[in-house]
Amino acid sequence: MAGNRGIVYQGKGIVEVKDIDYPDLVLREGPGVPKSNVGRKCEHGVVLKVITTNICGSDQHMVRGRTTAPEGLVLGHEITGEVVEVGRDVEFVKKGDIASVPFNIACGRCVMCREQKTHICLNVNPERPGGAYGYVDMGGWVGGQSEYVMVPYADFQLLVFPDRDQAMEKILDLTMLSDIFPTGYHGAVSAGVKTGSTVYVAGAGPVGLAAAHSAQLLGASVVIVGDMQEERLKQAESFGCETVNLAKHDNLGEQIEQILGEPIVDCSIDAVGFEASGHGENAEEQPAVVLNTIMDVTKAGGSLGIPGLYVTEDPGATDEDAKSGSLKVRFGQGWAKAHTFVTGQTPAMQYNRDLMKAILSGRTNIAKAVNATVIGLDDAPKGYSDFDKGVSKKFVIDPHGSLK
């Protein structure tokens, strides 16, 4: 049997490459696995040889110690790979297929899955709706920042690419289908972006860049991206976005007015989440600042897409309320302006097939927009460190060196 190595969370600020179990078609006991999920048989699943697996900003929240993630957790929910083993109950996926894995784990059988709400599947996590690979409170499914990973419910979940050679030619774009591209696109769709829209995107990390690129695909006339790091803003400018450096300007409305002639936009996207900081020099952490700011600058009747992560428990929060996920949101402002709020994980399967077609046809180059940068598995701890410092790169891990 082949060996396996993966990226393991070892405590606040520490990730290491370690030997881990080779996957089989059973969910074994391990860090974060609920007792009622231990021993769960997955003959409907497959084992993938991982071709690419990406570092996500959501992973960083755990590594920074801002969640209740247990030590020993194998990280990684952005997975693309080749099928090397097929379970007894799999009918339509075969060995040798190359496929994208939606980060949401979903059974395809419950009422939520039947309504395409695969982000809140009722059967994969006994503790709450929704599951994901290598993530805190998401059912204990082993992460995919590894050489091999097990994927349950393969017939339902896997997005198999139609042509192997074409897939490998565009693998840096296709690897974004597991999470970041659908998440950015969902942020834009749920914000109501349409032809001619003016859009504000909070955050120029990978999800913010994907949201900005998605807004352009949907026909936005102007996309404004706000961030506190100049390198990230330059990346947004590289594909035609307007930008605002929030470290230099504490009044976003004034900056938007300089760009648009009025201090409001049609819709806004929060791609930052709960680790947000206030605006201006030496700004301190303010977990609700993005939500309050986008309500200020979004027109009455507008929508707010919120793909940025918010958690129920944040042990590293700066105030007691935020430690339990209670934020000081000016909800009355949103109510008075009749805003629509769309929150929660992205139902990746609603979008990934269409986005795949856009990639394969050359309609989009998401890898360029987010500055996809390939690293080896052994370089992943440094990738985490560099990403945490704000480098404007989307790190793509190549566990087997197949992209060289």
276 versus 299: the higher-pLDDT residue is 299
Predicted local confidence at residue 278, as pLDDT = 78
Predicted local confidence at residue 283, as pLDDT = 74
Predicted local confidence at residue 325, as pLDDT = 85
Q: What is the pTM of this model?
A: 0.95
pLDDT digits (tens, 9 = 90+) for 330-362: 999 999 999 999 999 999 999 999 999 999 999
Predicted local confidence at residue 314, as pLDDT = 83
- pLDDT class of 292 with cuts at 50, 70, 90: very high
Predicted local confidence at residue 275, as pLDDT = 83
Task: Compute the distance between CA of residue 367 and CA of residue 14 in angstroms, rounded to an integer.
Answer: 27
Single out the residue of 54, 42, 76 nearest to residue 155, CA to CA. 42
Q: Is the pLDDT of residue 389 over 80?
A: yes
Residue whose entry in the numeric block shows the structure tokens 């659908």: 182
- pLDDT class of 7 with cuts at 50, 70, 90: very high
To the nearest whole percent, how much of the chain has pLDDT over 90?
89
Task: Compute the distance between CA of residue 73 and CA of residue 18 in angstroms, rounded to an integer.
Answer: 11
Q: Is the pLDDT of residue 313 over 70?
A: yes
Mean pLDDT of the chain: 95
Task: Compute the distance between CA of residue 325 and CA of residue 132 in angstroms, rounded to an integer.
Answer: 20
Predicted local confidence at residue 281, as pLDDT = 67
> What's the whole-number mean pLDDT along residues 164-180?
97
Predicted local confidence at residue 324, as pLDDT = 87
Q: Is the pLDDT of residue 404 over 80?
A: no
pLDDT digits (tens, 9 = 90+) for 25-43: 999 999 999 999 999 999 9
To the nearest whole percent, how much of the chain has pLDDT over 70?
99
- pLDDT class of 274 with cuts at 50, 70, 90: confident
